[in-house]
Structure formats: structure tokens, C-alpha cells
Amino acid sequence: MKALEEVKATQAERAQDYVKSLYEQVVERNPNEVEFQQAVKEVLDSLIPVLVKNPTYIKQAVVERIIEPERLISFRVPWVDDEGNVKVNRGFRVQFNSAIGPYKGGLRFHPSVNASIIKFLGFEQIFKNSLTGQPIGAGKGGSDFDPKGKSDMEIMRFCQSFMTELSKHIGPDTDVPAGDIGVGAREIGYLFGQYKKLKGAYEAGVLTGKGLGYGGSLGRKEATGYGTVYFVEEMLKDKGLSFKDSTVVVSGSGNVSIYAMEKAMELGAKVIACSDSSGYVFDPNGIDLDLVKRLKEEENKRIYEYVKERPKARFEVGCAGIWSIPCDIALPCATQNEIDQEAAETLISNGIKAIGEGANMPSSQEAIDTFLENKVLFAPAKAANAGGVAVSALEMAQNSSRVAWTKEEVNEKLQSIMKDIYRKTTEASEEYGESENLVLGANIAGFVKVADAMIEQGVI
């Protein structure tokens, strides 16, 4: 008996050392890419118990293979602004993993975009896409182009130039981009138009998040936000809680945030704050979602305009302060690392019960550790925000079979996918001994499917 325990301890030590050396290698090979290093570290730490149980993964170097993108494309994007000046941005596409399907993942247009951001997003996409149960591999792309303040024609010219290069690398069976921060239906339209012109063929499934008139799916726009709330509702239900009568703070006011607020309200929650990169609005009577939709979806305005029409609401400059508002449930739906340890501690001292990550990697590692140590229910991004890409996969399925499903059909499928992700995540957490740690469960459940597919396909 003692001998067995010793063997187990040695195996655990070996797995820990292995993971540590892999992480050191990642830091050395990807210097200065802090977001990518952060995303890899979180997954590597989760995988230790899996590696102890299945040493084949070590023997087959699956983790080493998974952390190295299959391909990283970087390209020049020259375009002409309205004054006739030539501008140059940098474009990226990371094709991270194609073990279970064509590369799939959004495009982000934001000045902060660089190789590290694209690689962290592409890496997370491997596990997220796997969790959806849909046949999609992982990719991500974007540019450091800043869409803020640009005219419609400038956006169009930029998208056309971006696609002129990107079109060489994508296709409905190879790589299927979609939107992310700064890329919505308008940009997808311009990108699709240029792709179609270059290919001389109507390949509807090359992009998702398309307009409803040319191959888009009903329910795609709402999918990420709704999906996050469906996932959190499952997690709450397990503890005898629910969104009903709870107070909710949702950061952001883009696509994910707006539809997370909508679904939370539908389930009986009171949403009292949202934000954009200029600051946040706190509306103690409950956010007027129609107003947010008009300002953001129609008028392209900043969130501070909200208080002009809602005198009882307050606007505060800066984003971090939103986490000082006492609430039962927080849904970070803006961007990476928006909740640091200090914000996590403030949320906890104000009595937070649950966190649902709608954005990608919105909590820093220290914040996650703080939530878990304090037994806050925590729905990690890879699982909780997978609804968007899941419905993208449904859009691909509709495009392939040249049909269009009703909104109800899509929503029903989304709901069952989110329930399934919750089940897989909790089962993996339980199997590996930490039933309350859904970060561990999501990473493990996402990993195993991809790792097994890679092994079955040989040394690829």
C-alpha cells in the first residue's frame, strides 16, 4: 500500500516537473508574450492530474504539440484613409489546431492586438471549441487597426485590404473566421464581399456571423451572451440559486454584454451597471437595455451618453471601478484581465456569489485563485462563453446543407449545448478530484478530446 502511494507521489512529481519545464520553454520561446504565457500556464496547471493518470500524453508529447500553433501568419495591411493618406497596419491569423475540425475563431480589430493577444485567444479557442462538441478546430486573427473614429468607407477599405491577404489562407473546410472585438456584422459583410470577389464563388461557410440575408444564422448575434447566462444559470441551479431577483453587474456594452444583460433580465435579474472603454454607468433602477442598444448598436456612441437620458444613473470614468458596485453576480463581458486580484477582493467583500466570464480571459490568474479560494462560484470563459462559437458552428452546418433554421431551433440547440458543456465540465472536475473547480474541469474536458484525436491521427 505504501509502495503504491510512493509510486503515485513520484508520478505526480514527474508530471509537475514536466509541466514546469514546458512552461519555462514557452516563456523562453515566446518572450514578452505575457497574455499567451498566462493562458498556457492556466491550462498546463490544470492538466497535471490528467498527465498523472494518462502518461501516454507525456510519451506522445501531446501537450508540447498543443502549445505550439500549427501556423502563425503575419501580414501587411495597407489601406487609404479618407484624406488620401496611405496607412499600414499589421494583420494576423493563427491556425492553432485542426485536430477536430477546420480552424475556427474570430477576428479582433483593436490597437492592442499583437502576436501575444492573437496566440492567447487562439490557444483558448482549442479548448472552448472542443467543449462545444461541434467539429471545429481553433484559430484566431485580427489587426492592430483601430476602428474607433473611422468612417464607414475607411472600414470598408481596410476590410478589403485585410481580406485580400487573408483569403489566401482560409476557406469553408480549412479556416473559418468570424467576429470578435471591433468586428461585427458590418465588417463581416465587407470581408465576405471581398472574399467572394477574389474567389469568384459563393462559399457561404467561409465566415460566420454573416448578415441574415446572405447565409447568417438567426440567433448568432445573441449566442455568446445568452450562452453565458445559460451556463451560469446551470451552475447556480446546482446550488439552489438562480438569476431571479439577483443583482447583476455586466461589464462591456458590445455584443456579448448586451445579450448577457438581455437574458439575465429575462430570467428575472436586475442589471445595474455596464461599461465601455471610456467608463461605466451605474443605474440603481436597472439598466435601460433599449437605450444601450440604441446608443451602441445604432448610433455608435460612447456609454456616457446614457446618463443624458437617464438622469438617475451615474457615469464614472475608467473601467475598473465597475467591480466596486455590490452585486450578487458579475458577468465580465469586456476584455482580457479586466478583473485583477484587487477587484476580485472587492467583489468578495461586497458579497459576490457567482462570476460568469463572457469575455475571453477577463480574470487574471490571481483573481481566479482568489475566487476559488473564497468559494465563489466561478464559470470560466472557455466554457461560459462558448455559445458564440457553438452557434457559428451551427451557421456552418446550415450553410453546408443550404438551409436556414428558425430562431427557436437555434436557441434550443444553444441551450442544450451549454447544458452539455456544463455537464462535461463538472464531470471532469469531479473525476479529477476538485468538484468546485470548473476551471480545471473545462480545461481537462476540452483537452482530452483534442489530445485523443491528435494521438489517433499520428505525429501531426
Binding ligand GLU (rule: CB under 6 A), the pick from 104, 110, 263, 296 is 104
Residue 157 in contact with residue 80, Cβ under 8 Å?
A: yes
Q: Which of 37, 360, 398, 425 binds ligand GLU (CB under 6 A)?
A: 360
Strands 86-97 and 314-317: unpaired
Nearer to ligand GLU, 104 or 413 (CB): 104
Q: Which of 104, 140, 210, 263 is catalytic?
A: 140
* Range 380-409, binding ligand GLU (CB under 6 A): 388-389, 392
For the question of residue 53 being annotated catalytic, the response is no
Residue matched to cell numbers 467572394 = 196
Burial of 458 (0-12, 13-18, 19+ CB in 10 A): exposed
Q: Does 180 bind ligand GLU (CB under 6 A)?
A: yes
Tally Cβ neighbours within 10 Å of residue 199.
Answer: 12
Report d(CA 384, CA 227) in Å as an integer.
7
- The answer to the question of residue 105 lying near ligand GLU (CB under 6 A) is yes
Pattern of binders to ligand GLU over 15-54, x per CB under 6 A? ----------------------------------------
Shortest approach of ligand GLU to residue 174 CB, angstroms? 14
For 441, other C-beta atoms within 10 Å of its C-beta total: 27
Q: How many residues does the chain have?
A: 460
d(Cα 161, Cα 60) in Å, to the nearest integer? 41
Contacting ligand GLU (CB under 6 A), which of 178, 218, 329, 396? 178
- Nearest approach in angstroms of CB 425 to ligand GLU is 16
Q: Which of 46, 97, 208, 217 binds ligand GLU (CB under 6 A)?
A: 208
Please identify which residue in 91, 101, 102, 106 interacts with ligand GLU, judged by CB under 6 A. 106
Q: Which residues pair with 282 in a beta bridge?
A: 273, 314
Identify which of 357, 341, 347, 355 has the alpha carbon closest to the alpha carbon of residue 323: 347
Counting residues that bind ligand GLU (by CB under 6 A) gives 10
Considering beta carbons, is residue 208 or 399 the nearer one to ligand GLU? Answer: 208
Phi/psi of residue 117, nearest 5 degrees: -65, -45
Query: In the structure grid, which three cell numbers stand for residue 444, read together?
Result: 481537462
Between 109 and 243, CB nearer to ligand GLU: 109
Specify the residue for cell string 477576428: 107
> CB of 354: closest distance to ligand GLU in angstroms?
21
**Cα torsion angle, 285, 290, 296, 299, sign:** negative
Secondary structure (3-state) at 203? coil
Closer Cβ to ligand GLU, 208 or 370, answer by number: 208
Which residue's CB is nearer to ligand GLU, number 105 or number 441?
105
What is the binding site for ligand GLU (CB under 6 A)?
A: 104-106, 178, 180, 208, 360, 388-389, 392
Catalytically active residues are 140
